[in-house]
Structure 1
């Protein structure tokens, strides 16, 4: 399974809640393993023009402090749940109109379950029924992820559970997700390996004055060979700003900043490097070395107990030692989203708050967080240098998620 059950239980106990209701598609994937690529794109108005922009096919995962979780899923998508690790799957809503004239008898498994139908009209009906079965409907504090639930769903749930105290736990779930399980790290490592190889291949076939479209095409093909999905490629046009325009064509003498994203089995890869078609000038080499030192310094600082602001400070100090001032590095968690907690920034005395948690935004790092560290340096008219790598927080300092082996013509490794 992907989710860290012990961590989720710890947060629920500290918040004094008896269960979490996950509602956002990525949280449902995290807690159950279920995913459907179009789930977050389909909205009610796309099927009923006068309707709202709420999710067309909502679902839930109920995660109680005690007992097993329940996945609540629309009947039309039940056949997409064969590989989930949750045993209790409840179906709601109507299915497709079936032609039963050739249907064999004795269908079993999920096919049989779907054919027998279900007794829940809406996802809220199914959720309320499960909560009543589990004794969670009255006198309990329940965390609800507000992010994936529209106004109609929240109102219906509140009306059906007047005896429960419903609390927003959206940020609590983000805090649970920021420390990765071994299963997550394995998927992320694979995602990075695929993206890195695909990006290198795309760079190696690039031509001076060739277009971004040609680079992107090669990247897409290489990703597809390994069942990874394209997310983005962006360059720094002329060293001034980022572009995804397919017609942009870096010149032969430009330092080309590249940022590459991909998704493998729901998990993101986010990498960055720069390249040139000719030998880089000495000043560019020096600045590139400073960027490498910046990311390496941040990586060494990624230890349990170290605060995010301390990592930021270490990266800034390394930049300064390399002769670069006024250029802020970046860092962020990564996983089911391209940017997750923790965020590597200065301590601004902000807080992460919902109805269930209230913690400093500059919290100490924990082992098994996966964090991207990156720094870009912009040289108008010349190009831009980029370096971005992914680390796992370890007691002895950050461990690179993969052994990066960037070759010529890649400049920043």
Structure 2
């Protein structure tokens, strides 16, 4: 378990929340380390056709002092057996059990865990996204003295700042993804199907104990396509965006594939994208709003070539591929749940991992992408992994403008 529990408990204290109950697979994973394959892929009606088509439950409970608790279906309890310093509780009956007695439900076990921790008349933050809202009503009926408040935004905000162990895992994931992409793109030749290269990336990330999240191409009409079957041409200059998931954490990166030396105007546009990322990363300083990065990226784009076709943005990375904070234009909007009220334009904090991307699409001619991830430190930012070439030319040394 590598969650930022110190940050979680500090925020619980400041929000006057006595316990957090996670109900979605991402946040259960974050708080306990439990990778709920079964819960991600199955709904209740897939096991019982008379049940509702809602996600199969698992819960994580975090208090200010006790070790995290995991409530998981008994048949998959073995998956949680090696998680270490958490309290694992099962609901339901294990597969093959001869016991004919009625087995406790997930809500019944959750109530038992909360009561054991003395949380019967306190404030409990719980994710209230459907279907959890229905289950929360059941929980409220069983704990009538407790106050149940939505903590969906609070949990995302907790996740925004990474521990050193999280950054290590994310670095390993990014390194695996980058090496897999370079290996796969080395196969590019005129006439080669783009789908072959996407498949090669999928195979390569598996060698690093990772799984494909995305491998996207810029196509000639100006759009972006996944799993596209189209032969590469000798004149192609293509946007490529790729990422994988490893041990619960995502990577996201991008570069430009050139089938031959790009023409001068395209190279100038790519140089412009690199300058945009350089300007944006220089603005990734603790205490500054996330929008300051977007302002600097956009300013750099507007001083260079093909600026009318360029865009720049960014987002946090973690157990979700697009997490807080978002690098976007300034806004006065708020991120709210019943526990926190935050500016949507979040101030940057040391330990955040931010993905920055600048791209250009000139329909019918070319597309290009430069995308890298950074760790925010107290006085600046550093690359999560060494930057790949901005332009990769198979059979030639990649060009880094």
Q: Is the 8 A contact 1:274 1:412 kept in 2?
A: no
Once the two structures are TM-superposed, the CA of residue 117 in structure 1 deviates from its matched residue by 11
> Matched residues in 2 for 1:163 and 1:150: separation?
19
> Matched residues in 2 for 1:149 and 1:28: separation?
15
2:82 corresponds in structure 1 to: 83
> Matched residues in 2 for 1:59 and 1:340: separation?
22
SS at match of 1:39: helix
1:351 aligns with one of 320, 328, 334: 334
1:337 corresponds in structure 2 to: 320
2:358 equivalent to 1:375: yes
Residue correspondences, number = 395
2:265 corresponds in structure 1 to: 283
**CA spacing shift, 1:6–1:245, aligned 2, 3 Å:** closer
1:390 aligns with one of 360, 373, 378: 373
Taking structure 1 as the reference length, what is the TM-score of the superposition? 0.91
- Structure 1 residues 14-45: Cα deviation after superposition (integer angstroms, max 9, x where no partner): 11111101111110111011113242120112
1:3 corresponds in structure 2 to: 3
SS at match of 1:27: helix
**What value does the CA root-mean-square deviation take over the aligned residues?**
1.9
1:251 corresponds in structure 2 to: 233
Q: Is the 8 A contact 2:70 2:88 kept in 1?
A: yes
- Structure 1 residues 252-280: Cα deviation after superposition (integer angstroms, max 9, x where no partner): 10111111121111111111111111111
Pairing 1:226-245 to 2, within 5 Å after superposition = 226-238=208-220, 240-245=222-227
2:190 equivalent to 1:191: no
1:92 corresponds in structure 2 to: 91
Pairing 1:288-367 to 2, within 5 Å after superposition = 288-326=270-308, 327-367=310-350
1:202 aligns with one of 169, 180, 184: 184
Q: Is the 8 A contact 1:70 1:86 kept in 2?
A: no
Q: Is the 8 A contact 1:291 1:319 kept in 2?
A: yes
> Matched residues in 1 for 2:393 and 2:25: separation?
40
- Structure 1 residues 44-97: Cα deviation after superposition (integer angstroms, max 9, x where no partner): 1222224222112x1111111232221111111110012313332111111111
> Matched residues in 2 for 1:25 and 1:394: separation?
29
Name structure 2 gaps, 5 residues minimum: none
1:105 corresponds in structure 2 to: none
SS at match of 2:84: coil
> Matched residues in 2 for 1:375 and 1:118: separation?
59
**CA spacing shift, 1:38–1:248, aligned 2, 3 Å:** farther
> Matched residues in 2 for 1:169 and 1:117: separation?
37
1:72 corresponds in structure 2 to: 71
Q: Is the 8 A contact 2:198 2:227 kept in 1?
A: no
Q: Is the 8 A contact 1:174 1:341 kept in 2?
A: yes
> Matched residues in 1 for 2:146 and 2:14: separation?
18
> Matched residues in 2 for 1:370 and 1:47: separation?
39
User: Which stretch of the first structure deviates more once superposed, 370-379 or 241-250?
Assistant: 241-250
**CA spacing shift, 1:239–1:293, aligned 2, 3 Å:** farther
Once the two structures are TM-superposed, the CA of residue 404 in structure 1 deviates from its matched residue by 2.2
User: Which stretch of the first structure deviates more once superposed, 281-290 or 203-212?
Assistant: 203-212
Q: Is the 8 A contact 1:23 1:148 kept in 2?
A: no
Once the two structures are TM-superposed, the CA of residue 338 in structure 1 deviates from its matched residue by 0.6
